[in-house]
Amino acid sequence: MKIVVKKDKLEAAKYAARLLADELKANPETVFGLATGRTMEPLYAELCEIYKAEKLDFSKAVSFNLDEYAGLPGSDVNSYRAYMQMNLFDHVNFKSTNLPDGVAPDAEAEAVRYDNAIKAAGLDIQLLGIGNNGHIGFNEPGTAFDSRTRHVKLTDATIEQNQGLFPKPEDMPRYAFTMGIGTIMEAKKIILVATGAAKTGILAAAVAGKVTEDVPASVLQNHSNVIIVADEDAAAEVPAELIAAE
C-alpha cells in the first residue's frame, strides 16, 4: 500500500486525476471502476481539464460505478447516474458507462447481472472514497470480505452522512446497490481518495489498524496494488512512517 499525502483536497484530487489519466494513456481500453461522493467532485473536474488539455481519448474505455441508490431512476437528480453524467460522463467520450439500475424490478437479479458484467469486463483500476464509518461503496461495517454485488440496507451513519445532499433529507433512499468487497478486491489496482478532517480517524484505522470487517476499508491492506491519496487533514493520524516520500 502506497500512501501519498497532499496539502489540501484540490492537490489530492489533482494527483488522483493524474493517476487515472496516466492509466488511460497506458491502456486506451481501460476498464474503470468509479466512485461518487463529494471527494470525487474536484477529481472529476480535474480529469475533465486534463481531457481537454491533453486530448485524452476514452472512446475505447468503459466504466462501472461502485454503487447506486435503490428506488431512484437514473433521471433523478439525486441518483449516482445523474451525478456521474454531471461531473464526468457528459464531458468526456467513454465508449460505455455502467451503473446498477436503481429501479430494476428484481433487485437481486439486477445485482447478479451487474456483478457478472463487471467480472466479464475485469476492473483495471477502481477508484474509492471512504465513508465516515469506513464503508467502501455501500459496504457497511460488518460486510463479509468475500461479498459480491448486492442490494443493501444503509446504516444510520451513512444516512446521516449523505442525507444533506438531498433537498428533502427524508427523501434519501434507505437501500442501495453496491459492488461487493470481493468484487472490488478483484480490481488490478485500487486508488482510495480521502480528504477532510471528518475522515481522519477512520483513514488511520483503515490503513494502520487491524484488518477487520468492522472497518470495511481495512481490507485494502490485503490488496497488492493500492494507492491511498489523502490530504493533510485526512492523513493527520496516519503514522508518518507509512507515508510515501514524494
Asked if 223 is an active-site residue, the reply is no
- Residue 69, by phi and psi: left (phi above 0), alpha (psi -120 to 50) or beta? beta
CB contact at 8 A, 133 and 202: yes
Q: Is 101 a catalytic residue?
A: no
Angle at CA of residue 26, ends 180 and 217, nearest 5°? 25
Minimum distance between the CB of residue 179 and ligand GLP, rounded to whole angstroms? 9
The answer to whether 91 is a known catalytic residue is no
Question: In the complex, what is the shortest distance from the CB of residue 66 to ligand GLP, in angstroms, rounded to a whole number?
Answer: 5
Contacting positions for ligand GLP (CB under 6 A): 35-39, 66-67, 129, 131, 137-138, 158, 162
Find the shortest distance in angstroms from Cβ 20 to ligand GLP. Answer: 15
Strand 62-65 to strand 31-34: parallel, antiparallel, or no bridges (unpaired)?
parallel
Q: Which of 135, 139, 162, 231 is catalytic?
A: 135
Catalytic option among 46, 67, 68, 115: 67
Report the residue number, 66 or 229, with the smaller CB distance to ligand GLP: 66
The Cα 180–Cα 234 span in angstroms is 25
The answer to whether 213 and 133 are in contact (CB under 8 A) is no
Choose, from 65, 133, 139, 162, the residue flagged as catalytic.
133
Q: Which is nearer to ligand GLP, 92 or 234 (CB)?
A: 234
Residue 37 vs 102, nearer CB to ligand GLP: 37
Tell me, yes or no, if 133 is annotated catalytic.
Answer: yes
